[in-house]
Structure 1
């Protein structure tokens, strides 16, 4: 399982545009084969900071996602509403046995 945290610092003047652009990305990504979850979270302590938390079945699912039109389209427009580059961290997660 691959877990990705993508930090997004949004220009306050462009936050509405950002949210309008990211909603189709979220919906389409959730429909992809190999996607377990794809959720946007707003930081409760820092204004205009969001984190996309993605969970994928495996590295192949991530690679396929990174080539989709909805992902590449969003990334190409991200500079229009972000104040810094995406801060992407990926983790290899394994379920814990209880």
Structure 2
């Protein structure tokens, strides 16, 4: 299993727009074969920081997800909403 942690710093006044787009991405991604979980979190101390935590069965399903219509149509729209480059890390479960 692979976990993706994608931290996003959203511009002031753009959080609602980000959450609306994120909701569409989450709903479609959860339907994908190989998706274990896909959740968005808002930082408890900074309302402009949102982090996606996703769990996928393997790298092949992640590649498929990244090529999906919903991913390729929604994720580029985040570019106008984020304050700085997103921090994205992939983790492999070891225990």
TM over 0.5: yes
The interval holding the TM-score normalised by the smaller chain is over 0.9
Per-residue CA deviation, residues 58-97 of structure 1 (Å, 9 max, x unaligned), is: 0001000000111111221111111111210001114x3x
Residue 62, structure 1, aligned to residue 74, structure 2: no
Q: Could you say what the CA RMSD is over the residues aligned between the two structures, in angstroms?
A: 0.9
- Which residue does the alignment assign to 1:32? 32
- Which residue does the alignment assign to 2:86? 86
Q: TM-score normalized by structure 2?
A: 0.94
Q: TM-score normalized by structure 1?
A: 0.92
Structure 1: unaligned runs, 5 residues or longer: none
Asked which structure has the greater CA Rg, the reply is 1
Runs of 4+ in structure 1 displaced over 2 angstroms? none
- Report 1:7-46 matches (<5 A): 7-46=7-46
Structure 2 CA distance, aligned partners of 1:47 and 1:16?
11
